[in-house]
Amino acid sequence: MATNPKVAATYRKGMLDGAVSIKTDANSGKLKIYSGSQPTDGDTAVGAQTLLATLTMNATAFTGPSGTASTTQTLTANAITSDTNAAATGTAAWFRLQKSDGTTNIMDGTVGTSSSDLTINSTSITIATTVAASSMTISLAV
């Protein structure tokens, strides 16, 4: 299981004081898949990276968290709606999860066909094809 989530500052702070929730704020959120290097954190603006596809999170984005108060906590995504018309051609490397408004950043993570935060059907994406997610987990150590 990959554990490379990079949570935006508002969410890091909010997770400590209970003001925000990745679990609920991701409901119907936008999962944007990019080529290129993953930014330093969820607040860093996208630069030369290319947006390849945008998937939509379920209206109830995640189940969980699983684990006890003293162990790693894991959220598991419910079904994610595929993008049936990829925006560009390239190699998927990372994702940015945003609220349903498509602008408020929640977090970034890795993309791959296994051992990644987000598992998709293929990292080799071609414009106008379908990009499907088979699983997504977010694990944060306590």
Helices marked H in the chain — which ranges? 9-17, 22-25
Highest-scoring range by mean pLDDT, 5-9, 16-20, 46-50 = 46-50
pLDDT for the residue 91: 98
Give the pair of three-digit tokens for residue 36.
């290129």
Whether the per-residue pLDDT at 140 is higher than 90: the answer is no
| CA–CA gap between residue 78 and residue 31 (Å, rounded) | 13
The arithmetic mean of pLDDT across residues 118-124, rounded, is: 97
85-104: per-residue pLDDT in tens? Answer: 999 999 999 999 999 999 99
Angle CA(49)–CA(38)–CA(142) in degrees, nearest 5? 155
pLDDT for the residue 41: 87
Other beta carbons within 10 angstroms of residue 87's beta carbon come to 17
Please answer whether residues 32 and 18 qualify as being in contact, where contact means their C-beta atoms are separated by less than 8 angstroms: no
pLDDT for the residue 74: 83
The arithmetic mean of pLDDT across residues 58-65, rounded, is: 90
| CA–CA gap between residue 92 and residue 53 (Å, rounded) | 9
Q: Where are the domains of the chain?
A: 6-140
Whether the per-residue pLDDT at 1 is higher than 90: the answer is no
